[in-house]
Structures are given as structure tokens and as C-alpha cells.
A and B are shown apart, each in its own frame.
Chain A
Amino acid sequence: MLQKTTFLSHSYAKPDGHTLAAYESAGGYKNARKALGMSRDAVVDEVKKAKIRGRGGAGFDCGTKWTFMPKESKKPCYLVVNADEGEPGTFKDRTIMERNPHSVVEGCIIGCFGIGAHAAYIYVRDELHLSKERLWAAIEEARAKGYLGQKPFGLDYPVEVYVQTGAGAYICGEETALLNSLEGRRGEPRYKPPFPAQVGAFGCPTTVNNLETIAIVPTVIGMGGEAFCKLSTLAEFNDGGSRLFGVSGHVKTPGVFECSVGLTLRELIYDLGGGILGDKRLLAVIPGGSSCPVMLPEELVNVPGDPRFEPYNGKSVLDLPLGVETFRSVGGMLGTCCAIVLSEDADPVLALHNLMRFYRHESCGQCTPCREGCGWIERILDKIVEGRATLDELDQLHRIASDITGNTICAFGDGAAQPVLSFVKKFRKQFEDYVLTGGKSQTKKLVA
């Protein structure tokens, strides 16, 4: 169901929307003041009721994550905000940082209070220069006004917020690699357990939240967790509220849109994205960031035995509301809710080749399967695209990807394997044609 909201995007159209004045005129910082007047448990409770599924791709429930933090800790606790947005096709967090940075700062105050931290680090992808500038400016404004520091709003709960930049590695978006990078170490994921709530930044209990997750928290406190949750049509799937949806690729009006959870891919592509460029046929869509399996419009929902899926069974996956559990149940993945659309003019072989160049380049090189496997897959795809590959080599692709799956420290390996497995399964014919014609079957382009 298409239901637009403006909790985060209300300031997007205003030229000065990123300033404190504009934010406060829209009711900003009232919610942080309110939260600091509540008990810590009450704040966490509201966030739990809101059923915010982590917006960074893994979809873990935010309130539940906050409860993992120790009630009492001898060590300091930290809130770390993941703004290392680097997934191909995902570009929602930067819009918040650039055009509504104060929602992040306010979210940090509430988040720190909710988890018992007094400092928040916002880890921003280095390439997002305007985002860093806007965040720093927002922090300075808030501090000057007395909203940050020793006594925010005159209340006795010190909070400081810092911006830390990455150095251009996609893997640092993985929360434990991010923590290593934050500490000045090599950005390599850590083995879990221990989880960050036990041993996180600088060896202290830490909660790592996606930037959009944190930015929506003030809204939750303002309207109450239950009311926020009810905005969604997927509340029964424990997926509440509203979120940012992105659409890119071969659509007429790509962009970021804020809507209630429950939006379908069809609405995202045709209503918000304006339909396929040149009114072509839709070939495929990658639902949320490049690590998710690619889906075809011909795929039908078939989840027997679960009454919640009854309205959708037999329908195209395009008509299934975008939710963490709905997509997991159909063998897909929601990810970041930023869909990449491929029109019938696009070449799926070139698309996978493009993705795997990215994953080969970004593998941190720690675990053997991912380090060597991604390189091998890219190399075979190179040869397929150049028309030098054999069928034997094509048959290696799913095997290598299957051997990476699950056998690495972090989810990067799975994220690199999923596109391969889904593309070869769903486009085997096109891959075979490349091999059999020596690459001459390539009539389509990557860019429409």
C-alpha cells in the first residue's frame, strides 16, 4: 500500500532544511528533551513497540538490540551510528545527512540515553563530503544551543556526538569492521561472539545502528511506539513504521521516497519510480542493495501454511509488500529497500559482471573462500563477457558461490554469493548464449 510519510523528508525540499532553526520550527529536539525526562526502560520500551527493523540491511529489531546492552557497566558504553553507506544501489542515508542532519543528532541523544551511553560516533563514508559537513555543522549548532555536552536541555545526562570518517572501504559498513576502523585498525570484520553489545568499540559495550534507524527514533518518541508501528501494514510481520525507499536503474524518476512500510515493489517501480524507461518491459529487480538475490516479475509468492501470506500467494513478488520477513520467506532479501531495476534492454550477464567486479575489489581478504572465491568468479565472468569462457567454467560459478556461502566470518561472503547464485539460476540461458556464441550474443547494454 502506497502511503507517503514525511517524518524524515519534511525538510528535504527546503533550501535551509538542514539548519537547526528549520528543524526546531518543525518541532525538532522536543522529543529528545521528552526522552531524557523519561526512564531509560520506558524509552527502550517505546522503541521496541515501534518494531523498527534495522534499516541497514540485516533487518534486526532496533529495540531488541538496545536491550542487549548491560543495565550497569563498569566500562563506558557507546552508540555507533553506521553511515558508511556503500552498497551499490543504496543512497538513502546520505539524503538524511545532507538534508535533515539534526534528526540524526537528536536520534543520537535518545539512542545514547536508551543504551546507557554518553558518546555517539557517527561513522560516515569518506566520499560523502557534504554529509560530513552537514553533520558537523548540526553537531556544532546543537552544542552551541546546549543540546549536547554536559547538560543537554539543562538535564543531567551528558551526551557528546562525534563524526568519524571511513577511508573508502565497503567492508567497513559491516558493523565489526566498522568498529575496527573506528579504533584505527584495519577494517576487517571480527568474529562473533562476542557481539558488540558485549565487546564493541574500544572493548566496551556498544550498539551499532544504521543512520536511518537512529534518525527515525525521535519520531517514535514523539508519536509513541505503538502509533508509529501502526503506520505499517506489516505490523503482524513485526515490521513497523515508515522508512525510506530508494529506486534506481532503468526507471523514469529514480530517487528516495519516504513511505509507510507495506509498499510493494510494483508501487516503488511504477508509482514512485515512474515506470520503466522507454516504457519497456521489466526484466528483473534487485530489491534492496546489490547483495540481495535478483527477482523476476514472473516469480510468484508461494508460502503455504502461513495465513499471513494468504492474500499474496499466487501473486507476483512485485505485489508482495516490502518487509524483512515477507521477502525472507520467498527466498529473497529485503536489504536496504533500495531497489535496482533492470529493463528488458539490460544484459543480466553484464549486470552480474559489474556487481562481481565490485565484490572482488571490496573483499577484505581475511577469509579464504571470499578472498579467493570472489576473484575467481570475477575472472570467469571476465572470460564469459569477453567470449573466452567454456561451459565448464560457467558450471563453476554456482559451485564457487555455494562454497563461499556461510563459510566466512562476516556476511560479505554471502552478500557476494547471493547475486551469483540468483543470476545464474534465473538467467542460465543468457550465460550459456555468451559461452556458446563466444560473446556475440551480447546485444543488450548495461545502461539503458
Chain B
Amino acid sequence: MSQSSVEQVPLTALQGITADAWQEISRACEEPDWVRDLRQKAWEAYVETPLPTLRDEDWRRTDYRELQLEDLLLYMPAGIEAACEADLPESLRSHSETGDDWGGMVVQVNSEIALTRLDETLQAQGVILAPLAQAVHTHPELVQPHLGRIVTPDDGKFPALHGAFFSGGIFCYVPPDTTVELPIQALVWMNAENIAVFPHVLLVADRGSQVTFVERYASPTLEAQSFSCPATEVVAKDGAQVRHVTIQDWGRHVIELGFQRLRVDNDGHLLTILAATGGKLVKNYVDNSFAGSGVEAFHRGFFFTDGTQHMDYKTMQDHLAPYSTSDLLIKGALRDRSRAVFTGVINVRKGSKRTDAYQENRNLLLSKRARSDSIPILEIDNDDVRCTHGSATGQVDQEELFYVMAHGLNKNDAARMLVEGFFSEVIQHTPLDGVQAQLAGKVQEKMAGWQVED
């Protein structure tokens, strides 16, 4: 393809995964050379990496061949101008407004940032919250050391694709020894069909800082397919305390293939919450990388599938240094003919002595036609460690059901109570009351119309 043919194609009509297409995005954003170089390297990796197929161990349970990547528009403007949250459409605000008091809010609509707001108190503390496309110009010294280096093109075909095509994007920086009292929310909203979005979140919590950050992916449900290929990079530097919440609530037309990596340095504290309820077909890597020693990491998450949803989450507790502790619990419930795959990896690298890692996955099959796979993987290259895992999948327990029914609740109400309790054990760790109530409400919503099977 020649240079001249590209210039006739407006950004809004970009279609087809080609070098010209990402170059057009880069050009339109007037990116510095180093960002363009990142895209170039990612593109090269993308071209060299074969598409994962059902023959790859990691992909053999998730068939994404329905994804029609070549037919999707690769850049879609926000089409929304918002000076403040009140200007945002009601459908979007029904997600972002939780009753919690937000210190900062960034909203990406499709491929563009529609709103960035940061409280003056946080600005005065030196906190930065900005569109990534802007931050690469204004704060290269903070962005360049991390962008594309936490999640890299080597992480796979889709991280590489993301690296070449990312657009919009959110950058958040918390200066050393700064405690951000109010939480920050990044919302990625998609309101068009037949599009592909490549949202990027880069959160850098500098030494000794504290921050609560919520990432939310949501959209209405539309007819035709849309594709989300996000990447999240989180860096918690020495002694930082990061509370990170990911809420995946896409509409039922969305295919998502995403990658998250959270790197924690010496003595960092990490709390993560994952809540996945949306999408048509979703596969996400959630990679927790304990690069420093003395890390304490606590992970809680849930997924809830219904209809014909397919969700595939692979978590990693990657212990690269000694004396760190990680504790992960993921719970899942499956309704109807839905399907879920959970793979939990604990990786204790050589030299990571005194690692204490725990992983548990519990799944509840709410229908005989639903299917779930739970795959624990322990890779331990060390002696002096403690690693344990547990996995259990089953239906609503008959004895528990009888116990609750004996207290006056009919079978469905009793089962609902048990399912809500099942999730509440995870949701209760969510740091924000409003978000916590919202997630509990989401579980109730997913239970609507459900009848316990005999």
C-alpha cells in the first residue's frame, strides 16, 4: 500500500489491520517519535506472532473465530463533548455514578477521551490525570519509562495488536509519599457497533503513595459486533499502596481480548477487585507481577455469566522476588448455557524464597447446561516457599438449601440468598461503598428470572 492511498482515507473510515492504519492514528495524534517507535515495534511483533488457535494450550477453550476484525472500524470519535460529568449521557452516568465521591474521572468514549476531571486538591498534591495522547507530550519523563514496557508486544498477539493501535488512553500519576484520599475512576464507554477500540490505562503510583483506582468498561448492548482490545499497565513503586478495581460490564455484543499487568515493587501493597459480568466473549489476562520483595497482595474477584456468554480469565501471581505474600480468590457463577474458563497461575521464580502464595477458585453452576473449567497451575522453582491452591465447582449445595428453606424461604429465594452470599464474600472487599452496592446490585440483576433446577 502506498502512502498516497492512505491520505485519502479519513481516520473515521480506517478499516483493516495494516501498517498504514496505525500510522494514520499515530499521525493524527501528532505523536512524538518514541511513541511511534513503540507502535512500530508492536506492529512488527504482531506481524511475526501467529494468531492463537484452539491448538494453543492457552486458547484451546476459547474460540474467538467469530471476531471479524477486518470488518471493524479501527477509530471511532467520541461524538460527546463534556465539560463536566453532568454533561455525560444518562446511560453512561448510570454506570459511573455510584454514590461515591470521585476525586478524578476520565471518560473514554470509543477511541477518544471525552472528559477529564481532577479535583483541585488532587492537582495541588501533584497528581496527574490526563489523556494518554496528551501526557506523552506533557510528561514524557513519567510516561516513557513505563508505556508499553509493563504490557509488551511479547505478551501475545493481541497485546501486540493493542501496542500498534491503541487510541484514547488514560494516564494517572501519583507523586511520591502522596495519599490520594478520593478515588479516581477511568471509564471506557463504547456506544457504536462494528468498531474496535484499543483503550489503554497507565497508572503509576510512585514511592510510598496511596491511591484507589477504578477501571470500568461498559456499553449498551447493540446488534452487531464490537471489539475491545484493552491493555492496563499499573506500576506500584516501592512502598506504594494501590487499590485497583476492574469492572467489566460490556454490552452483550462485545468481544474482548485484553491484558492487564500490575507490577509491584519492594514493600508495595496491592488490593485488586475484579468484577466481570458483561460481554459476549471475553478473554483477559490479569497478571500480577511482584517485582520487589516484601510485597503484600490481596486479590478478590468474580465473574457471572448467563445466556451464551463466554468468559475466560487467566490470573497470574508472579513472584519474582523473595518475602512476598499473595492471596487470590476468584468466584464464578454460571447460568443458562454460558461457559467460563478460569486459569490461575502461581509462578515462583528462582530466588523468590519465603514466598507465601495462595490461590482459590470456586464456581457455582446455576444450570446443568452451563460449563466451567478451572485450571490451577503452580510453577515453583524454589524450596523455601509456601504455595497452596484450591478449586471447587458445584451446584447450589442441597444441604445449605434445605437449611435456608427450613427457615421459611422458598426454594428460589433460598438459592438466591446463597448465591448472593457466595458473591458477597468477594464483593465485601471492594474499597468503595457505592461500588460495593453497585456490584451487589449487578449480581441481583444477573439472577433475575433464574429458577433453581431440580
Query: Does A associate with B in a complex?
Result: no
Chain B interface (Cβ < 8 Å from any Cβ of A): none
